[in-house]
A and B are shown apart, each in its own frame.
Chain A
Amino acid sequence: MLRKSIILLFCTCFGLSFTAPALAGGGIITDARTVGQKSKRNSQVESNRGLSIPAEGLTSIENELYLLVSMWFSESGWALDSDTHIDFYQPRGQAETDEESGCQQAPILPWFLLGLIPFVTRRKQNSIEA
């Protein structure tokens, strides 16, 4: 009787462990690729916010400029208006004191303006020629 019980117990335990789902688990690995391939949806999001630069045909330099401009806008709190309320560019503890804040980053505005120079000069030449 005892032997039968032990065998039954063994079979039950073995059966349970065999049929129960295996220890599961897993994860998602995400890497930043070198050049972004914007989906239509994401492109739409950005164009709704005023930035409409097609990803296709962007050289790395143009892409870098695009990033710089994006970040410049971000510093004005323009782009990071997500639901998660990220105050990424505001140092902690100063959100409600209205103190001047922001990162001490390299000034991006001069780079941006520098990028505009060829267009401005060309336009000026055109107007002179006209």
Chain B
Amino acid sequence: MMPAERLNIESEFAYDLLQDNMELILALLETPMSKQELLGRLGSIDMLGRLVRNGLIQEGKDGKIFAVAETYQQVRQEGMMTFLQRYILPSLNAGLSSLHGAESHGLSRVWIKTFRLSPTTIRALRPNQFQSLFEELLKITNVAAQTRLYHQSVLIVGTSRDKKENLSENDSILELVKEASLQKVSGDEKDMAIMSQFDCLADSNRYRLSLDTLERALALLESEETSDTIPYHLTVAIHWRCESPKISVVDEVSESC
């Protein structure tokens, strides 16, 4: 696969701008917009100027506004709690709701797995296996959309820290998120924890393809299990914010969105 064109978000200001205008950037990743259309969505020419100055979008010769790269890559530049609140928790919350058949905004699914992996493999998970997974998901966004597009998030939370026995599924996930966020700031262990999210726009077809890709990735990880290793707890969730699906069984409802 050809490497994706990538923009690394370095500045804190650009990070905040991307956070504030994520829906817009995601839309621009799909298709360029006229300046008027963009201004209509942004509501202010100042904001448009800031986005251009910080290199998040660019204006073409024909006056259309483009996203500058196929992939925007960024690292957390805020407190852990607000990061969790903005990025991880909404999708996880939707996944937890779907586990219990409760209605959530859109469709979601969550996988809770424990693999037995060597420390070397664990440290290589994010840069290798999960980077490949994100590249695969990125590839899916190039599939022509057949129906309306909605925001889709895929999140991965992993930690090698032990979890307590006899916890409910919900509490177990919450415990793992807490442990992962703590492990991520612990000197020697920080590269054993994963908290990553991939955001894009998806229609029902892309959502289904993403589900398949996630299942394949988890199956592949299972094949890397070996003896004499440590347990690694992984929570993977996908949240597709399509409008008002009334059925909680994802495979049956994809087309209805």
Q: Using CB atoms and an 8 Å cutoff, list the residues of chain A in contact with chain B.
A: 21, 23-39, 41-43, 45-46, 55, 60, 63-64, 67-68, 70-71, 74, 79-80, 82, 84, 86-89, 91-93, 103-106
The stretch that binds A, out of B113-121, B189-197, B221-229, is: B189-197
Interface string of B202-235 (1 = CB under 8 A from A): 0000000000000000000000000000000000
Interface residues on B, range: 35 or more
Task: Known pairs A25-B70, A41-B16, A60-B186; list 11 more (Cβ under 8 Å).
Answer: A25-B140, A26-B200, A27-B138, A29-B73, A31-B74, A32-B193, A39-B77, A42-B78, A42-B82, A86-B85, A92-B170
The A interface, classified by DSSP as helix, strand, loop or mixed, is loop
Out of A25, A32, A71, A89, name the residue touching B83 (CB < 8 Å). Answer: A32
B168 contacts A by Cβ under 8 Å: yes
Q: How far apart are the CA atoms of A42 and B99 in the complex, in Å?
A: 32
B240 contacts A by Cβ under 8 Å: no
A25 touches B16 (CB 8 A): no
A30 touches B76 (CB 8 A): yes
Q: How far apart are the CA atoms of A124 and B187 in the complex, in Å?
A: 33
* Beta-carbon nearest neighbor of A70 in chain B: B81
State the Cβ distance, B173 to closest chain A Cβ, in Å. 10
15 residue pairs of the A-B complex, CB under 8 angstroms, read: A24-B30, A25-B29, A26-B29, A26-B30, A27-B71, A27-B134, A29-B74, A32-B76, A55-B79, A70-B79, A80-B89, A88-B92, A103-B171, A103-B174, A104-B175
B26 contacts A by Cβ under 8 Å: yes
User: For A74, what are the chain B residues with a Cβ–Cβ distance below 8 Å?
Assistant: 81
Q: Given A30-B74, A92-B96, is A63 in contact with B102 using a C-beta cutoff of 8 Å?
A: no
B187 touches A104 (CB 8 A): no
